[in-house]
């Protein structure tokens, strides 16, 4: 004797419902994989941008350190600097030759080792020193900062200007 006649139809409905659900699991998995891949691509783009910004930041820090270095050299050789002997522009692809004087050694070291090694030995990397007899010196460093934007070389110039009393 069947006390619950509805049970037989209920189990039939459950089985029918389970058969209808079989394909939905695959679609859910595909959508989850799609969302996950978009997220991973976003993380990769974020990492690439972070590396680019880090390279640019390192170049700017190196330019700041090079500026302080030449200012200390000017303070060390103050009388020669006040006479305007250090004044001029150095380009890292054609650094001045080193010689017997402290000025020649300092400018060559500044150009080749500090500017050239850290900012690139190309014609757009320049160091400009301008000291007046009153003791106010302006040091300008220009370099290509295309690492920051991913642009081609010479598209993004960065200029750092520092004034100091020696």
Question: Alpha carbon of 63 to those of 67, 94, 135, 154: distances in Å?
Answer: 6, 18, 22, 17
Domain range annotation of the chain: 5-165
What is residue 106's predicted lDDT score, i.e. its pLDDT? 93
Residue 85: band (very low, low, confident or very high) from pLDDT cuts 50, 70, 90: very high
Distance CA 159, CA 166 (A): 22
DSSP structural state of residue 115: I
Tokens read off for 35: 């969302």
pLDDT in tens, 9-34: 555 555 555 555 556 688 888 999 99
Euclidean distance between CA atoms 73 and 21, whole angstroms = 78
Q: What is the gyration radius of the CA atoms in the chain, in angstroms?
A: 33
Prediction pTM value: 0.70
Taking the C-alpha atoms of residue 134 and residue 82, their distance in angstroms, rounded to an integer, is 7
pLDDT 10s digits, 86-138? 999 999 888 899 889 999 999 999 998 989 888 877 778 899 999 999 999 99
């Amino acid at each position: 004797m069947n006390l619950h006649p509805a049970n037989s139809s209920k189990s039939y409905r459950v089985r029918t419902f389970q058969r209808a659900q079989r394909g939905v699991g695959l679609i859910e998995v595909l959508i989850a994989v799609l969302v996950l891949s978009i997220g991973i691509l976003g993380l990769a783009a974020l990492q690439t941008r972070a590396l680019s910004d880090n390279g640019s930041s390192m170049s700017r820090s190196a330019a700041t350190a090079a500026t302080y270095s030449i200012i200390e050299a000017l303070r060390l050789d103050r009388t020669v600097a006040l006479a305007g002997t250090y004044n001029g522009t150095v380009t890292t692809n054609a650094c001045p030759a080193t010689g017997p004087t402290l000025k020649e050694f300092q400018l060559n070291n500044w150009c080749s080792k500090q500017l050239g090694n850290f900012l690139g030995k190309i014609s757009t990397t320049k160091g400009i020193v301008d000291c007046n007899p009153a003791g106010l010196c302006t040091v300008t460093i220009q370099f290509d900062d295309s690492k920051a934007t991913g642009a081609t070389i010479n598209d993004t110039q960065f200029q750092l200007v520092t004034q100091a009393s020696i």
